[in-house]
Structure 1
Amino acid sequence: MDRTDQSLIALRRILRATEIYGRKLANAAGLTAVQFRVLQIVAERGSCTATVIAHQMRVSQATVTSLVDKLVKHGVVTREKSQTDRRQTNIIVTKQGRDIILHAPDALQQRYVRKFEALEDWEQAQLVASLERVATMLDAEGIDASPVLDTGDLRSA
């Protein structure tokens, strides 16, 4: 097998791993990976605004608003007006949301982060450079993407 085929197989394995995890998460929690990440951020902070989530995930506030709308419909977060600033709306995790976090499968990206951070600095730099090169080869440099492993479009999540 030549290197071109090997590289395409590796890319396909990465895509399949994210698809499989997405299905497991959807079956276990009823959420997409991106929705689950928003839920995790809210739970980690206790309470936060859409602006904070958008900044942390590196996506637009409109995207976060759409994601939070879906999480509210699932009953895993609520929106409350801030007591200190009436212009601000806080997003708060519910008991159901906390239960989902506790029982959800181990997040694929968290496994990746643990293993990536265990690499030597030079290996991390080499891997980042290689992945950025692959993104460039796929003409994907301009695509808006957050640091969430998911195969779906954030706008439809």
Structure 2
Amino acid sequence: MDEQKIIDIIHSFRSVQRVFYQVAREEADELDSTVIQIMVLSALWKTPHIGLGELADQLQVGNSTMSGIIERLVKQGLVTRERDQNDRRSLTMTLTEQGQKKKAETHEAFMTRFSTFLDISDEDYQHLITLHEQIIEKLEQSGDEVENVRHND
């Protein structure tokens, strides 16, 4: 087995992830927000009136963590909590008008910040996506149950 190949692939993904998150965190800081708060705003924009548990599952965080994030967003006037019309015991979250503006602002800032990705040729882009899909398939076929974390964002 070529262990170095495995190590190089893992190291490459870790390096990209680390730099990507660092850049995202810097951008979020400039917007007086956090990366997870921006992710929540985006998720609520795509799926309004979502429950806390479903939102937590979607973003792969615990319910108590999500509850704290929502609490901070409510205090900032970006999110409202409403009683679910179908289940009065449940609350759903929705962006306020201010939350929609913040989501648009953050989206624009992130698209500008990551616009250098557009310098990647179409051929390299297609190759990168194909390689990522192959790696996901290999991991899913490895025999261990891997939670499906594919997102079409």
C-alpha contact (below 8 Å) 1:46/1:92 kept by paired residues = yes
Instruction: Look up the match of 1:82.
Output: 84
Q: CA deviation at 1:74?
A: 1.6
Structure 2: distance between partners of 1:34 and 1:120: 25
| CA radius of gyration, larger in | 2
Closer/same/farther in 2, CA of residues 147 and 65 from structure 1, 3 Å limit: farther
User: RCO (CA 8 Å, sep 6+): is it higher in 1 or 2?
Assistant: 1
C-alpha contact (below 8 Å) 1:57/1:147 kept by paired residues = no
Closer/same/farther in 2, CA of residues 98 and 56 from structure 1, 3 Å limit: same
Closer/same/farther in 2, CA of residues 85 and 10 from structure 1, 3 Å limit: closer
Query: What secondary structure, in the 3-state scheme, does the structure 2 residue paired with 1:24 have?
Result: helix
Q: CA deviation at 1:86?
A: 1.3
Instruction: Look up the match of 2:25.
Output: 22
Query: What secondary structure, in the 3-state scheme, does the structure 1 residue paired with 2:104 have?
Result: helix
Structure 1: distance between partners of 2:79 and 2:130: 40
User: Which residues of structure 2 form unaligned runs of 5+?
Assistant: 140-148
Size of the aligned set, in residue pairs, is 129
2:131 to 123, 148, 156: 123
Structure 1: distance between partners of 2:18 and 2:129: 25
Query: What secondary structure, in the 3-state scheme, does the structure 2 residue paired with 1:79 have?
Result: strand
For 1:34, give the aligned amino acid: I
For 2:55, give the aligned amino acid: I
Query: What secondary structure, in the 3-state scheme, does the structure 2 residue paired with 1:106 have?
Result: helix
Instruction: Look up the match of 1:106.
Output: 110
Q: Deviations over 1:5-52 (max 9, x none)?
A: 9x8688456423322221212212x22111111111111112111011
Instruction: Look up the match of 2:94.
Output: 92
Which residues of 2 match residues 1-150 of structure 1 at below 5 A?
Answer: 11-12=14-15, 14-28=17-31, 30-104=32-106, 105-106=109-110, 118-119=126-127, 123-128=131-136
Instruction: Look up the match of 1:140.
Output: none
Give the stretch that moved more between structures: 8-17 or 76-85: 8-17
Determine what percentage of the aligned residue pairs are the same residue: 20
For 1:57, give the aligned amino acid: L
